[in-house]
Amino acid sequence: MNPKDLAFQPGKLQKAPENFLSRDFASDLTEKGMDDTRRGFLRNSFFGALAAGAAAGGMTNAARASQGDPAILEKQPWQTTLGQPVAAKPYGMPSKYEANLQRRESPGLTRVSAASVAFTPLQGLFGMITPSGLHFERHHQGWYDIDPAQHRLMINGLVKKDMVFTMEDLMRLPSVSRIHFIECGANTGMEWGNVAVPTVQYTHGMISCCEFTGIPLSLLLDMVGADFTKGKYVLAEGGDGSGMTRTIPMEIARDDVIVAWAMNGEMLRPENGYPLRLVVPGVQGVSSVKWLRRLEVGDMPYGAKDEAIHYVDLMPDGMHRQYTSIQECKSVITTPSGGQQLLTTGFYNISGIAWSGRGKIKRVDVSVDGGRNWREARMESPILTKALTRFNFNWVWDGKPAILQSRAIDDTGYVQPPIRMLREVRGTRSIYHNNAIQSWKVDTNGEVSNVQVG
């Protein structure tokens, strides 16, 4: 750590309270700069606001101006009136001031919202857990809120007994709770050829990380007497209109796959597969089949639509890689990130997330000069296998253009590659599995934008 990084000035005084200015004026001022007219207006508005405060508080303008911040000096309604009772909102919701942070579609990406994506607003999140209501959505034929009393899980194929389980059955069994990321194979897929979208919500927002509770798939496979000699694959099938199917190799199925009913301590949200989904840690999200209704043990891969037409990676020689599954080691800086606006120079806490489908994150490095020089970031605990790891990095911005990057290394020793290296092997048309280093340019005006560097 460079000690200079810590040389920020604490306790800097806010120059003038924002709420003195109308939004129009503040914005106008920012764009056109200060002139006499605006300065005069500003002075009047400042004293006007003080006068209003003074009338209430019985103090003179000058006295108030010298004494400090009205947010402190004036009694605020939340200090002087009775607040709302408990259970005013029986199911709690975020503050109204957080309403800008929502799942959003990327305009023009798809034509039909029932077969589309809503991206997680990573630019506004903290830590490693994605709030349930902001977990990204990807549906293939729309979502349903399925009555759990009517939901069944069937297991058949190369098993001693074809069996059916109700939710009661499954929830009686010994459960586990694990924190894992789910990342769509197409996350960052729009950026293979060039910069295409402005913010981290759209470049990387098809990843979320939650605590899932359910039973290990291996337990169910044991219960039905799966034939592990011949049965090398498990087909997972969803209960939605698309009856979505994906093949999972037995090696993965018996390792850490969860048949899950809960997410972040409550039942799954309908958009995330209520009442039952598969969670296949480290593997692209499409395999974590939602509304899971059937598992079949078989002796060959199934060549389903989402493994023979989609979710196949086109290579430069025209060959497609089929059954690409593992989400390789990747990271991204979430603040400051594309589409954000810095207001002043000085200290910033660069923060981001790192993850690997092969295990734990061992280290994250950050560069503020486009990859010329790197320094190690701080990783927050816990650091879990196939889960997001939050990293932070102290940075004092001097106001000059900067390019921010992060680079993760997992416990297999794999180093997150630059986009150039991936393109050399895979070209620019493979859509899936883009785990390249992301670059954000900070301009002298404080605007951060999405760029790629060579």
Of 54-73, binders to another protein (CB under 8 A) are: none
What Cα–Cα distance (Å) separates residue 40 from each residue in 29, 47, 352, 430? 12, 11, 43, 58
CA gap 1, 209 in Å, rounded: 29
Q: What angle do CA 271, 336, 413 make, to 5 degrees?
A: 80
Judged by CB under 8 A, the residue of 6, 320, 382, 400 near another protein is 320
Judged by CB under 8 A, the residue of 235, 280, 297, 379 near another protein is 235
DSSP 415: B
CA gap 46, 21 in Å, rounded: 8
Interface with another protein: number of residues (CB under 8 A): 158
Judged by CB under 8 A, the residue of 158, 182, 210, 252 near another protein is 252
The single residue listed with the structure tokens 């099938």 is: 237
| Binding segment (CB under 8 A) for another protein, from list 1-9, 67-75, 260-268, 325-333 | 325-333
* Among 411, 432, 405, 408, CA closest to 354: 408
Structure tokens at 420: 């150039």
* Residue 145 binds another protein (CB under 8 A): no
* Residue 363 binds another protein (CB under 8 A): yes
Are 332 and 203 in contact, with CB atoms under 8 Å apart?
A: yes
In the bound state with another protein, the residue whose beta carbon lies nearer, of 158 and 209, is 158
* Residue 44 binds another protein (CB under 8 A): no
* Residue 308 binds another protein (CB under 8 A): yes
Shortest distance (Å) from residue 160 CB to another protein: 10
Shortest distance (Å) from residue 153 CB to another protein: 9
Shortest distance (Å) from residue 59 CB to another protein: 23
Cα 387 from chain centroid? 12
In the bound state with another protein, the residue whose beta carbon lies nearer, of 60 and 78, is 78
Are 269 and 277 in contact, with CB atoms under 8 Å apart?
A: no
Shortest distance (Å) from residue 343 CB to another protein: 5
DSSP-based three-state secondary structure for 20: helix
In the bound state with another protein, the residue whose beta carbon lies nearer, of 61 and 175, is 175
* Residue 227 binds another protein (CB under 8 A): no
Are 378 and 350 in contact, with CB atoms under 8 Å apart?
A: no
In the bound state with another protein, the residue whose beta carbon lies nearer, of 56 and 147, is 147
Shortest distance (Å) from residue 156 CB to another protein: 5
Shortest distance (Å) from residue 96 CB to another protein: 5
In the bound state with another protein, the residue whose beta carbon lies nearer, of 59 and 175, is 175
The H or E element spanning position 221 is helix 217-223
Shortest distance (Å) from residue 227 CB to another protein: 15
Bridge pairing between strands 361-367 and 346-355: unpaired
In the bound state with another protein, the residue whose beta carbon lies nearer, of 342 and 383, is 342
Are 353 and 331 in contact, with CB atoms under 8 Å apart?
A: yes
End-to-end CA distance of the chain: 27
What Cα–Cα distance (Å) separates residue 92 from each residue in 96, 136, 137, 165? 12, 20, 21, 33
Are 166 and 408 in contact, with CB atoms under 8 Å apart?
A: no
* Residue 325 binds another protein (CB under 8 A): yes
Shortest distance (Å) from residue 267 CB to another protein: 19
* Residue 83 binds another protein (CB under 8 A): no
Judged by CB under 8 A, the residue of 3, 4, 23, 80 near another protein is 23
* Residue 396 binds another protein (CB under 8 A): no
For the beta carbon of residue 393, count every other beta carbon within 10 angstroms.
23
* Residue 131 binds another protein (CB under 8 A): no
DSSP 279: E
Judged by CB under 8 A, the residue of 66, 80, 100, 229 near another protein is 100
* Residue 7 binds another protein (CB under 8 A): no
Shortest distance (Å) from residue 243 CB to another protein: 4
Judged by CB under 8 A, the residue of 40, 127, 133, 303 near another protein is 303
* Among 352, 336, 333, 334, CA closest to 344: 336
DSSP 286: G
Are 430 and 398 in contact, with CB atoms under 8 Å apart?
A: no
Shortest distance (Å) from residue 348 CB to another protein: 6
Binding mask 180-209 for another protein (x = CB under 8 A): --------------xxxxxx-xx-------
| Binding segment (CB under 8 A) for another protein, from list 8-16, 44-52, 75-83, 269-277 | 8-16
In the bound state with another protein, the residue whose beta carbon lies nearer, of 55 and 93, is 93
* Residue 38 binds another protein (CB under 8 A): no
For the beta carbon of residue 24, count every other beta carbon within 10 angstroms.
8
* Residue 121 binds another protein (CB under 8 A): yes
DSSP-based three-state secondary structure for 210: strand
CA gap 319, 122 in Å, rounded: 34
